[in-house]
Amino acid sequence: MGFFDKLRGEFIDIIEWTDDSRDTMVYRFERYENEIKMGAKLIVRETQVAVFINKGKIADVFQAGDYELSTENMPIMSTLEGWKYGFHSPFKAEVYFINTRRFTNLKWGTKNPITLRDPEFGPLRIRAFGTYEIKVSNVENFIKEIVGTDGHFTTDEITDQLRNLIVSRFSDILGEAKIPVLDMAANYDEFGEFITGKIHDEFLAYGIDITKMLVENISLPPAVEEALDKRSSMGIIGNLQKYTQYQAATAMEKAAENDGMAGGGMGMGMGFAMANQMGQSMQPQGQPQGQPQRQTQGQGASAVPPPLPAGVMYHVAVDGAPKGPMTFDALAQMVKDGSLIRSALVWCEGMESWKAASDVAAVNALFGAAPPPLPK
């Protein structure tokens, strides 16, 4: 430093630290050659502690307050310097300000998965993370064990060590607790409190007090989570046989709504295939698939035929107005009583338009037993 820097240093008579950061734990007050004037004013704010270090040793410690430095309030410095007959000015000492407020939202988490044996799923690998809070509780231990001669010490310089300590204890606790993975989410608070108690004394050895620890999440590998999701889905479905029946019935309903498929052989084929699938799903347990159910009464065992499909419903144009729907038997009765003739228009589901009864093969067959109308 130059002459003017030395001159400014000698005239510094106020020692204080105004902290505008959120992560500074220790700050060393800088001045020229560490010289302090006689009667200098020391200001220590709330959540601060000022520590004087003389010749590498911790001397006097000042709590929050406003001080005028003298032999009366610096007994240790007076003893170390041999101030028997008064305060010598200037004197040399390092002044460290310790931030004693609570440092919050510090992160911890597992770098590598923790392997444990779950009572339900067997060997598993899990990860965990959360937050914790600390504050300096013993300034002398903190300076001796952590800070040393660092003039500007931040939380980043200690969080790695603290995080490793937390993860190590967390792994031990998980292994000893033997709590099923599916029950861990209900014990996050208990984990946090238990770990805090386990590592509290170890943090105090550094002069730090851990005031709170939170477990925010314990996660499984993606493949295991996917398997759990499938297992949960099956649990929600419940009875698999009934679910299969429901799926088959829904598929048949959608096929019936498709006019193009319902009117052709493809729709009929799909309908019979679905009916067959539904019949298999409804078979009693123990009945081999693909084997027809046998009769147990009467002579011998014979295959039971499937139920007949529901009859086709027809509409008939009578006096220019549609009439129906009506069954095939009703059409036969109309042919018999003469109210339905060959030229009458008929329609059923699957037909593109109305057609003469004689042009619909199934209806035309009804006229075989009835004589044709007399020629005019």
For residue range 338-361, list pLDDT tens digits in order. 888 888 899 898 888 889 888 888
At 349 the pLDDT is 85
Low-confidence residues of the chain: pLDDT under 70: 1-12, 34, 82-89, 232-247, 249, 252-311, 369-376
At 294 the pLDDT is 47
Residue in this structure with the two tokens 């033997």, named with its chain if needed = 178
At 136 the pLDDT is 93
pTM of the model: 0.55
At 303 the pLDDT is 55
At 27 the pLDDT is 92
